[in-house]
Structure 1
Amino acid sequence: MKKIIISFLFLLLLSTVKAQTLIIPIESKTERGIPGAYYKDTYNNLNQFVGIWKYENTTTNTILEIHLFKKTMNYNNIYYEDTLYGEYVYIENGVTKINTLPNLSTILENVNKHKVHDGNFFLVNENSPKCNDCYLGQKRVQLILIDPVKKVGHIITLRVNNTNPLTMRLHNTSDGLTYPSDANINTIEGLLSGVKVGVTIPLGWYDLVKQP
């Protein structure tokens, strides 16, 4: 009975928060969000990216597998947002180089602390990297992927192709730089403090197949 009452109060609180919150379509999100607003995936465009996606090269015995999830109304300490997050495993020459999948067993209040996060920034065809073969209105989304070995971040761009089986193209970019914890990369001094350490996952394009 106590659990039922707690669940009811939680739902009541959530509905109250939503009623008082400014709701904005996620496509209208800018780099600086409005404090307290809720950037909502109104048209469920993020849903197509949810699932287990796997790239496999049998010649080089390389595998990149990403598990993506959608969190609604995630609070990032500034505003609420619907967002993609996840974890991944990378295997090269049959050797596991990175495996962050065990992190999925930990419930994080802010899912942007996962190794794949910030997944709600949509691109149009003209945005870099340009997409010359995207159809009109096709959604691409950018996320951040963290390399825990090199301690660097990657920007990955995803788009889902309506093939059978369903595939997702991933474009991976990174400068391979790591910075001191107190560095301010918005200043020249902060940018110059970066150290080139390279990346674990080679940069480039990967075609991943959605797993059953």
Structure 2
Amino acid sequence: MTTTPLSIRVIRDEHQALRAMLDSLRLMLRRQRDQDSTPRFDVIRAMLFYIDEFPERLHHRKESELLFPLIRQHSDTAADILDRLDRDHRAGERAIRDLERALLAWEMIGESRRIDFETALDRYLDFYAAHMRLEEEVVLPLAQQVLGEADWRTLDAAFAENRDPLTGHPPSHEYEQLFSRIVRTAPAPIGLGEA
């Protein structure tokens, strides 16, 4: 295949959006700590909700249910890696719940729980950086080598339906307020700065 398939471009764009969201979250927490200001729990919750709604439920599902099985059909060289990535996807769902719970504990109990949230967030950031790197450096190049035109048509049609607002798509009506809040209040690279 000479041109990069749409599905690979969507996956990379969505990875970049997740990286930007996580970087913005880390930056916002650092600024709040440095300025000794009250955390914007509402914005942090909105950012975690975004991560749960788009990368966890939409992006990962399509990778595990469509992309990875197609690669397995054409190659057995990456079976261990694909198994690991599937486990990562399942672990990611649990990790986001753990982050949401740690955030709630921080908000309800107070500053003594901040370190628990920040530690869980750092683990999550490291986990996803390694996960996305493995997909981008190993799995996507392998997919380009082994998948045929019919496979790409199937994948492209499925991934074209992804409408993540952080990849340039206008948010659907139901997500409009969520993304407005994130973009207005989150620091760059996602937002326009604290309101």
Q: Which has the higher helix share?
A: 2
Determine if the TM-score, normalized by the shorter chain, exceeds 0.5. Answer: no
TM-score when normalising by structure 1 = 0.24
Q: Which has the higher strand share?
A: 1
Q: Point out which structure has higher relative CO (alpha carbons under 8 A, 6+ apart).
A: 2
TM-score when normalising by structure 2 = 0.26
